[in-house]
A and B are shown apart, each in its own frame.
Chain A
Amino acid sequence: MDIEILSRLQFAITALYHFLFVPLTLGLSILLGIMETVYVMTGRAIWRDMTKFWGALFGINFAMGVATGITMEFQFGMNWAYYSHYVGDVFGAPLAIEGMMAFFLEATFVGLFFFGWNRMSKVAHLTVTWALGIATNLSALWILIANGWMQFPAGARFNADTMRMEVSNFMEVLFNPVAQAKFVHTVSAGYVVGSVFVLAISAYYLLRQRHVELARRSMTVAASFGLASALSVVVLGDESGYTAGLNQKMKIAAIEAMWNTEPAPASFTVFGIPDLKTHTTNYEVKVPWVLGLIATRTADTPVPGINNLVEVAKQRIKNGIVAYDALAKLKADRGNAALRKTLDAHVDDLGYALLLKRFRPDVQNATQAQIDAAANSTIPNVPALFWSFRFMVGLGFYFIALFALAFYLSAKRRLDTHRVFLRVCLWTLPLPWIAAELGWVVAEYGRQPWVIEGVLPTALGVSSTAPGNVLFSLLGFLIFYSSLLVADIFLMTKYIRLGPDGTLGHAVAAPFARVPAE
C-alpha cells in the first residue's frame, strides 16, 4: 500500500474509533445536567444517585475518548505535514482551541463533577455539571469549525509567497454555515446516542426487575430528551444537506447516485443500484420533488448530476493550469506583477490543477485525456455514499419512532409492563453508533478526492515519509486501540452489571426520600 492509502487508513480508523466515544460523552453530559437539575429542584435523593450512576459510566467513556483523540492531533504533524503547512494557518487555530477546551476546560469540570459532591453546595455542583456539558459541546463546536472549513474553505486565501492558505476573515471561518450546520447536527446525534444508551440500559434493568425506580425515571428522561434530539437530528440534517447542496454539489450528486441533471425539482431516489461503469442507477425507486426541495429549497433550481459536474471540473482544471503555470513562473520571478495578476484571476481553480499531479508532475503539459481522468477523479465512491446515507436516514427515523413510543408509554406509566418494547430498546443499543459512524463516512468519504474541498487534493497533503513508518504506527494503533476497546467493554459491562448500588457503594435512595436542605 502506498503512503496516501496508509495515512488515510490510519486517520479513518482512529477517527471512527474516537467517534465511538465522543457522541456518548456529548449526550450523557447533558442528560447528567437534566438529572441533577431535577435533584436540586426536588431534593429527592434518587435523582442524585441517578446522576452519580450515569456519571460513573460517563467517566469511563470520557477517559477513553480523551485517550483515543490525542493520537489524531499527532497525525496532522507526522502523516499530514504538507497539509499542516498548506492550511495550518486556518485549521490550526480552531484545532488548538478545541484542544484547550477538551483538556483544560472540560477536564477541569470532569474533576470537579466527580470529586465535588461532598465539597460543594448543591447549586454549585449543578453549575459544574452544566458547565461540563457546555464545555463538552464547545469542544465539539471548535473541532467542527475546523472540519467545516475542510468542507467549505471560507474566509481564507492562498498566499503564493508562503505557499499556504491564510486567514482573510476569521469571522467567516467562525460562522462558516457548513460548520454551524454540522455542529448542531452532530451534537444532536450525540444526544440521541446518549438517550438510546440510557434507554437501553434502563430497559435491561426493568427486564430483570432490578433498580426499577431508577430505571423507570432514567427511561422517562431519555425518552423525552431523545425524542426532541431525534427530531432535531432530522431537521438539522436537512440544513446540513442544504449547505452541502450549495457548496459540495458533487457530494450531494454522489449521495443520490444522480448521474445526470434532472429537470427541477429533482426527485429523491429511495432505492437503486448504482453502476459505476455505465454511470447509471438500476432499479430506481424515486419520490418526485423531494431532493430538489431539500438541496435547493426551491421548486425551480436544478440539482446538477455527476456527469455534468465532471464537465464543470474539466473547465476548472483548465483554469487551474493557468494559475499553476503563473505560480510556477512567479517562483522564479517574484516581482512580476502580470504573473501575480494572472494567478489572482485563476487562483480559485488552482486546486483543480493539483488533481493532475496524480497523473503527471508537469501539470502545464497535461493532455486532454489526463484532464478527463483528473476530472473523473472528483467522483467519490458513489455506492458507499448512497447506501451509508440511506441507512443513516433510515435509522434516524427509527429513533424518532422508538422515542415517541417510549415517551407515550412513559406518559401512561406503562413503560415496565411492555417486555417486548423493553427488549427492542435493549437491542437498539448499537444502532445510534452505527448511524453516527455512517454519518461520518458520508461527510468525510464524500469529500474525497479533496482533503480541503476544491483547494488541496488528499494525495498532496500526505507527508513524504517511508510507508513502513506509517504501517508500523498503524499496527501500533490497532493493538493499542483494541486493548482500549477490551478495557472499555469490560469496565462498562462490569459497572452496568453491578448496577447503581454496586457502583455507588450504597443502596439507591428510596423514590421519595429527600436530602436534607443545607
Chain B
Amino acid sequence: MTQAVRRPRYWREIAILLVAKLLALTCLYFLFFGPSHRPLADSAAVSAHILGASHP
C-alpha cells in the first residue's frame, strides 16, 4: 500500500524537477547563449580580426 502511494509521488516529483530544469535551461539559453549573444567567428570575421577590416 505504502509503495503504491509512494510511486505516483516520485513520478510527480521527477516530472516537476524535469520541467523546472527545462525552464532553467531555456532561460539560460535566451539570456546567455541565444543567437543574439553569439559572437560571429567565421573565416571572414577571423580574417578581418587578424588582418584588418579590409581583408574579409
Contact = CB atoms under 8 A, between A and B. Distances in A.
Interface of A: 74, 77-78, 81-82, 84-86, 161-164, 324, 327-328, 331-332, 354, 357, 361-362, 460, 463-465, 469, 473
25 contacts: A74-B33, A77-B38, A78-B33, A78-B37, A78-B39, A81-B38, A81-B41, A82-B45, A82-B46, A82-B49, A85-B43, A85-B46, A86-B46, A164-B43, A164-B46, A328-B51, A331-B51, A331-B55, A331-B56, A332-B55, A354-B50, A460-B50, A463-B41, A469-B37, A473-B32
Interface of B: 32-33, 37-43, 45-47, 49-52, 55-56
Contacts of B41: 81-82, 84-85, 463
A450 to B, nearest CB: 15
A79 to B, nearest CB: 9
B46 A331 contact: no
A163 B39 contact: no
Contacts of B50: 163, 354, 357, 460
A327 B33 contact: no
A42 B17 CA distance: 43
Contacts of A77: 38
B39 A464 contact: yes
B49 A328 contact: no
Contacts, number: 53
B47 A81 contact: no
Contacts of B37: 78, 469
B52 A361 contact: yes
A464 B49 contact: yes
B52 A460 contact: no
Chief secondary structure at chain A's binding surface: helix
Given A85-B41, A332-B55, A163 B33 contact: no
Nearest to A460: B50
A81 B49 CA distance: 11
A354 B49 CA distance: 11
A331 B46 CA distance: 12
A460 B49 contact: yes
B46 A163 contact: yes
A5 to B, nearest CB: 17
A414 to B, nearest CB: 51
Contacts of A85: 41-43, 45-46
Given A78-B32, A324-B51, 12 more contacts: A77-B38, A78-B39, A81-B39, A84-B41, A85-B41, A85-B43, A85-B45, A163-B47, A163-B50, A328-B55, A331-B47, A357-B50
Contact of A362 (B33, B43, B46, B52): B52
A106 B52 CA distance: 45
Contacts of B47: 163, 331
Contacts of A354: 50
A159 to B, nearest CB: 9
Contacts of B32: 78, 473
Contacts of B46: 82, 85-86, 163-164
Listed residue (B33, B38, B51, B56) with the most chain A CB atoms within 10 angstroms of its CB? B51
A465 to B, nearest CB: 5
A122 B32 CA distance: 47
Contacts of A361: 52
Nearest to B46: A163
A162 B41 CA distance: 11
A327 B42 CA distance: 17
Contacts of A164: 43, 46
A82 B40 CA distance: 9
